Structure 1
Amino acid sequence: MKPKKIGILGGTFNPIHLGHLVMAQQALNQLELDEVRFMPDYLPPHVDHKDAISAIDRVNMIKLAIADNPKFNLELCEVKRKGKSYSYDTMKELTTSNSNDKFYFIIGGDMVNYLPKWYRISELLKIVTFVGVNRIGNQKSNEAPVLWIDSPTIGISSTDIRSQIQSKQNLKYLLPDNVITYIKENQLYE
């Protein structure tokens, strides 16, 4: 069986937005990946978990956001494992169970400088290729072993979206329409 090139885009996705989808599509295109898996964390080790809604709602929104792209999939290993989500533990599990495949861990260019602080980063670098998504305003760092790709700049953040929901602003063109509907129907972030 031919080895697959699999992109992993991890995060809290609180909520998933068009910026996430553009990053994933650019990585898919530029690296000629077979698929990109969106991997929501259960409990991020670096974020105050009280700010994140339930993993079930975040997973449901990801399913809605990626439903129309056959090369986008959902990776639930961190949600199923529960507890704090460390990328090393997750990628060790995935590379062990998919030993023929090559994994590309996609991160925003702003996160590259934080890589030295990641849990067991030297071991993680041996099992995955990090992909930095370059955006305007980011300085490409050559200190970390990262494969850089370019992406259109879309200045959308989940934090800003949550704030806009609380102030009852229109979310059109920030999130997929079906995700906006889900948020409204479930009264999330209010």
Structure 2
Amino acid sequence: MKNAVVILGGAFNPVHTQHIALLCLAKQELEVNGQWNIIGGYLAVATDGYVCHKLHSRNERTIKLKHRLALAHEAIKDIPWLINSPFQEEMLKKHDGSAFSLGQRLKSLLKNDNIQILILVGGDRMIKKGVPIWRKSSNKTPIIRVGIERTMNNNDNNLFELWQKDLNENLIPNPEEFILLNTPIRSVSSSLVRVYLNQWFNTKEDSQKQFEIENDLININSFLHSSVINYIKKYQDDLYIDI
């Protein structure tokens, strides 16, 4: 059994329930056959510059990095294995640039080169321009990417079946660099979550409407943790980067 940590990178603008569910599902599925012992799970939160650039063309606002880091803490604080991950508080104090960079800093703090870094990749990012990323040979420092299918309405694609087919046809030059989990997870649109938040901010004068939106986000659609909403309400006047 190998010790490992799982890391999910992204904008987390804001962090939502399926980001956390992805970490928990990965731990569960990776440990089920006894090959891996997951000792920690982490969110690698992107820079303000990256997120601003990503959202500018969509005319969407960017939550400040300090608040996105704090929201990540709020989202995991009631999940023991996540909040008690080694150096978790340290990881949430500053940005590392990427999931890979966070993993390297974590390994240096753990002082244990035998701990494997597993980087989670949503099924949508395992395919680039119609081609699975596992078909390309990696020239970088070897890492292991863990792909998890995200279920979408009317989505007939099966990432795991494609992986098995490519394995059988010897189309994967470095199969040891990938793990495909055959357990789809519900997809949550981050853009849709931001639409709800914009509606919430635009109805400040209508407390009943705001309550209804909060109920949609927390209870009906289960998009956001209640602690995340509470943090947003507390820091709403300082939450976003001024454009």
Which runs of 4 or more aligned residues in structure 1 lie more than 3 Å from their structure 2 counterparts after TM superposition?
A: 43-47, 73-82, 86-98, 150-153
Q: Counterpart of 1:48 in structure 2: which amino acid?
A: H
CA drift of 1:94 comes to 4.0
Q: Highest Rg: 1 or 2? A: 2
Tell me the distance in 1 between the aligned counterparts of 2:50 and 2:127.
17
Structure 1 residues 178 and 134: CA distance shift in structure 2, 3 A: same
Q: Partner residue of 1:157? A: 189
Q: Deviations over 1:83-111 (max 9, x none)?
A: xx245544444445541201110111111
Paired residue total: 181
Q: Partner residue of 2:23? A: 24
Q: Counterpart of 2:140 in structure 1: which amino acid?
A: E
TM-score (norm 2): 0.63
Tell me the distance in 1 between the aligned counterparts of 2:138 and 2:67.
30
Determine helix, strand or coil for the equivalent of 2:217. coil
Q: Which runs of 5+ in 1 are unaligned?
A: none
Determine helix, strand or coil for the equivalent of 2:127. helix
Q: Which runs of 5+ in 2 are unaligned?
A: 32-37, 164-170, 201-212
Q: Counterpart of 1:180 in structure 2: which amino acid?
A: I
Q: Partner residue of 1:106? A: 120
Q: Deviations over 1:18-55 (max 9, x none)?
A: 11111111001111222211221224758616643111
1:171 to 209, 217, 240: 217
Determine if the alignment matches structure 1 residue 63 to structure 2 residue 109: no
Higher relative CO (CA 8 A, sep ≥ 6), structure 1 or 2? 1
Q: Counterpart of 1:171 in structure 2: which amino acid?
A: L
Structure 1 residues 178 and 81: CA distance shift in structure 2, 3 A: closer
Sequence identity, in percent?
Answer: 25
Determine if the alignment matches structure 1 residue 40 to structure 2 residue 45: yes
Tell me the distance in 2 between the aligned counterparts of 1:81 and 1:40.
6
Q: 1:26, 1:150 within 8 Å by CA — same for their partners in 2?
A: no
TM-score (norm 1): 0.78
